[in-house]
Amino acid sequence: MTADPMRLDGLVAVVTGAAQGIGAAIARALAAAGAKIVIGDLQEATAVVIEIEEGGGEATALVIDVSARSDVDELMEHAVARFGALDILVNNAGIDAPPGNAWDLSLDDWDRTIAVNLTGAFHCSQAAILKMMSAASGGAIVNISSHVAWLGTQGISPAYNASKGGVIGLTAGFAAQLAPHRIRVNAVAPALVMSRDFGWSQDEVAGYERAYSLGPGDPSDVAQAVRYLASPAAKWVTGSVLYIHGGFRRGGPLL
């Protein structure tokens, strides 16, 4: 019987922003596939760690800020100290788009959005590859972008578009330079994922549902895409962006 190429048995995965929502779903999916999970988040992720452990997996978590390089270095050191390796990095940590348009976007909102969503992914990737390059087996990095890298809308900060577009550029650059070191770098760019209650009216929800042929996504949809890109099943995939959008049609709401 052929082994499942999407199994991650024995591999160590760092997942940022995994205390809730999409990140928590990613952590659970990778753990279910056999990976040992290390969570880094601004919030306590104890509940996710307990859930993974109760399911028979192994997990640990640190409270960190991905925009602070010293925190990121501590996270990667913790992963290696706890589990002996670092094989997978998922750059999921990010902040939602603040309100704003081109003419009223504040510099503070711009700086913080770029610092977390883009510079944070850079910090984590660079710190992780220094660990991965020392291992003959290489590794895999999966960055979480968004379809707002290509599409804009009124009232949502262009800083968010820029940060998620920058993640795609970061993916391409790192993938090209790290291939000789057997480190694959890819991105997932989801459209609307119902990761929490957004406080929308019934009419607003109906509008979003009409914009997606398959309806809005669930966090588990992103998690399974990440699992694929992190797994041996994607051993010939690097520098790619997996756009998952449920059949989104431009003309309806963007998110």
CB atoms within 10 A of CB 55: 11
pLDDT of 187 higher than 80 = yes
Asked if residue 202 is part of any domain, the answer here is yes
pLDDT of 198 higher than 70 = no
pLDDT of 222 higher than 90 = yes
Asked if residue 175 is part of any domain, the answer here is yes
Asked if residue 98 is part of any domain, the answer here is yes
For the chain, percent of residues with pLDDT exceeding 90? 77
Integer CA distances (angstroms), 19 to 47, 162, 219, 234, in order = 8, 25, 13, 26
Asked if residue 87 is part of any domain, the answer here is yes
The catalytic residue positions are 160
Question: Whole-angstrom Cα distance, residue 146 to residue 142?
Answer: 13
Higher pLDDT, 211 or 140: 140
DSSP letter string, 79-110:
HHHHHS---EEEE----PPPB--TTT--HHHH
- Percentage helix, strand, coil, to 5, in the chain? 45, 20, 35
Domain ranges, residue 158 = 12-244
Question: Whole-angstrom Cα distance, residue 163 to residue 168?
Answer: 9
- Average pLDDT over all residues of the chain: 92
Residues 137/22/109/97 CA torsion (nearest 10 deg): 130
What is the predicted pLDDT for the residue at 80?
A: 97
Task: Identify the CA nearest to 160 among candidates 108, 109, 211.
Answer: 109
Asked if residue 7 is part of any domain, the answer here is no
What is the CATH classification number for the domain harbouring 40?
A: 3.40.50.720
Asked if residue 2 is part of any domain, the answer here is no
For the chain, percent of residues with pLDDT exceeding 70? 95
The predicted-structure confidence for 33-45, as pLDDT tens digits, reads as follows 999 999 999 999 9
What is the predicted pLDDT for the residue at 1?
A: 43
The total of structural domains in the chain comes to: 1
pLDDT of 164 higher than 80 = yes
Question: Whole-angstrom Cα distance, residue 121 to residue 16?
Answer: 9
- pLDDT, average across residues 111-115: 97
Asked if residue 16 is part of any domain, the answer here is yes
What is the predicted pLDDT for the residue at 212?
A: 81
The predicted-structure confidence for 225-246, as pLDDT tens digits, reads as follows 999 999 999 999 999 999 999 8
Asked if residue 165 is part of any domain, the answer here is yes
- pLDDT, average across residues 126-149: 93
